Structure 1
Amino acid sequence: MSESTNREIVQSIFAALAEGERQPFADAMAEDFSWTIAGRGPWARTWHGKRAVRAGLMTPLFAQFADTYRNHATRILCEGDTVVVECRGSVTTRSGARYDNQYCYVIDLADGKMRALTEYMDTALAETVLSPPA
């Protein structure tokens, strides 16, 4: 895909996330998609495969939220098949705590699908506010 097409794919995913719609993100994952959270602590790991990402990360994470999670992109940079997104996510957890984190996602695309995502975030905040994934 072209650089502009890759940018458009990611822009549309994050436009949906800003409205609390997660399905476009899930639809854009390739079957062999991998998601790595960089850093230390219980959140820092890699999930391999779309099914593992959904079952091991997304489902348990979103189950902790009391309302709609929104993620707003503040900057999107693209070079070839790699798109970098700076963004801010916010939600209230079921325990009543605020989970407002900043992220940088490095997303690799192929054939119009996300193949890999490396996430940089405040893992200490995640560890403090959220229950870790199993």
Structure 2
Amino acid sequence: MSTEQNKQLLRAAFEALGRGDSRPYLDLLDDDFAFTITGHNPWSRTIRGKEAVRRELYGPLFAQFADRYTAQLVNLIAEGDMVVVEHHGCVTTKRGDLYNNEYCLVCRMENGRLKSMKEYADSLLVDRVLDPPPWAKGAEPVA
């Protein structure tokens, strides 16, 4: 697919997230999708496989949310199969904390599918607001 097509697929997915609709984003994930969370906190690691990402990352994460997660798209920059997405996420946790992180996502597309994503975010906010995931014991940080 072209650079512009890749950019438009991610734009549509994040605009839907802005309305609280995660389906277009989830539909973009390739079966062997790899998600890397950078930093040095309990959530930092690489998870491989669409179903593993849904089960090991999105399941424990979204279980902490009291309302619907939304993402406001700020910027998209694309070149070839790479698309960089800047967005602000917002949700309230079940403890009543506001989780309003700012993200930069480096995404690789292939044949109209999201193959990999590397997330850069405010890890201090993650530590302060989120409980560690169940799999965090012994997890290696990802730089």
Q: What TM-score do you get using the length of structure 1 for normalisation?
A: 0.98
The aligned residue for residue 128 of structure 2 is 128
The aligned residue for residue 70 of structure 2 is 70
Please provide the CA RMSD for this pair. 0.6
Which structure has more strand as a fraction of its residues? 1
Identity %: 44
Q: Secondary structure at the match of 1:15?
A: helix
The aligned residue for residue 111 of structure 2 is 111
Structure 1 residue ranges without an equivalent (≥5): none
Query: What is the distance in 1 between the residues matched to 2:118 and 2:15?
Result: 20
Moved over 4 A (4+): none
Q: Secondary structure at the match of 2:39?
A: coil
Q: Secondary structure at the match of 1:131?
A: coil
Matched, 1:28 2:28: yes
Shift of 1:63: 1.0
Is the contact between residue 44 and residue 123 of structure 1 (CA under 8 Å) also seen in structure 2?
no
Structure 2 residue ranges without an equivalent (≥5): 135-143
Query: What is the distance in 2 between the residues matched to 1:118 and 1:31?
Result: 17
Matched, 1:51 2:34: no
Shift of 1:44: 0.9
Query: What is the distance in 1 between the residues matched to 2:89 and 2:107?
Result: 17
Q: Summarize the alignment of residues 82-121 of structure 1 with structure 2, pairs less than 5 Å apart.
A: 82-121=82-121
- Residue identity opposite 2:27 in structure 1: D
